[in-house]
Amino acid sequence: MDEKIKRLSELIHHSKNTVFFGGAGVSTESGIPDFRSEKGLYAAQKAYGHSPETLLSHSLFVEKPELFFRYYQENLIALHAKPNAAHLALAKLEQQGLLHAVITQNIDGLHQEAGSQRVYELHGSNWRQYCMDCSKNYTLPYILDEAHCKDKLIPICEVCGGIVRPEVVLYEESLDDTVVSGAIEAIAKADLLIVGGTSLAVYPAAGLLRYFKGKNLVLINKTKTPYDGEAQLCIHDSLGKVLGGISTL
């Protein structure tokens, strides 16, 4: 294992443009459960009668907003979660000029909290909320305050009374063009791409990998992925341990 961490460190130091692309596994070590995991799936069916895909779909949001907000608030917001060793290591690498960008599928804002500056949030962020009618921006604490919610659940705009929703991409909604182009450009220019905490099975992860034309692909994931064979380096271990390990070399 230490050999592999050493090899990763060498690759980072010898590359000119390194990009990190992360999935849910980056945040599970901060105590944020992966709602797409088998456990998350089971829990959603049992408590809400639907799969996470349905609960987080645009149609359900329109048809049953109370159910959407109940699931969203109870399962997708971890207000007190803190960045873990992986987030901190990535922020440090950026500061040292060794990491160009972070692309994430997570919506928890933990990369920014750790200090990362250039972050492409493919699925948006819990920390940005907006009124669907007048576009006024709100913060996360605003929507969590029952005083701002209809029936204690649906956040309402204090200016116009419209529904305040998270700037998070729901199923059936498209990703933000600017964010996607930025992420594609970063991947296309990278000579080292480190992919971590994703099985690469979920859209759009696998599709984005196609844009990588660089020399070295590194995969860090607890379990195998369909792309293991294409990687120059494959580490099946915890991201915090691997990325955190680089800084202690």
Residues that bind Zn ion (CB under 5 A): 131, 133-134, 136, 157, 159-160, 162
- Reduced to 3 states (helix: H, G, I; strand: E, B; else coil), residue 213 is coil
* 123 a catalytic residue: yes
- Which of residues 140 and 206 has its CB atom nearest to Zn ion in the complex? 140
Pairing of strands 124-131, 137-138: antiparallel
Measured distance CA(142)–CA(126) in Å, rounded: 12
- Which of residues 128 and 136 has its CB atom nearest to Zn ion in the complex? 136
- Which of residues 153 and 233 has its CB atom nearest to Zn ion in the complex? 153
Query: What's the first-to-final CA gap in the chain, in angstroms?
Result: 13
Structure tokens at 135: 């576009």
Q: Kind and range of the H or E element at 104? A: strand 101-104
The least CB distance from residue 163 to Zn ion, in Å, is: 9
Annotated catalytic residue within 87, 100, 123, 236: 123
Residue/partner pairs of 177-181 with CB below 8 Å, 24 or more apart: 179/120, 179/121, 179/122, 180/122, 180/204
Angular region, 234: left φ>0, alpha ψ -120 to 50, beta rest: beta
- Which of residues 119 and 131 has its CB atom nearest to Zn ion in the complex? 131
The least CB distance from residue 150 to Zn ion, in Å, is: 13
- Which of residues 40 and 162 has its CB atom nearest to Zn ion in the complex? 162
Nearest to 106 by CA among 198, 1, 192, 39: 198
Catalytic residue set = 123
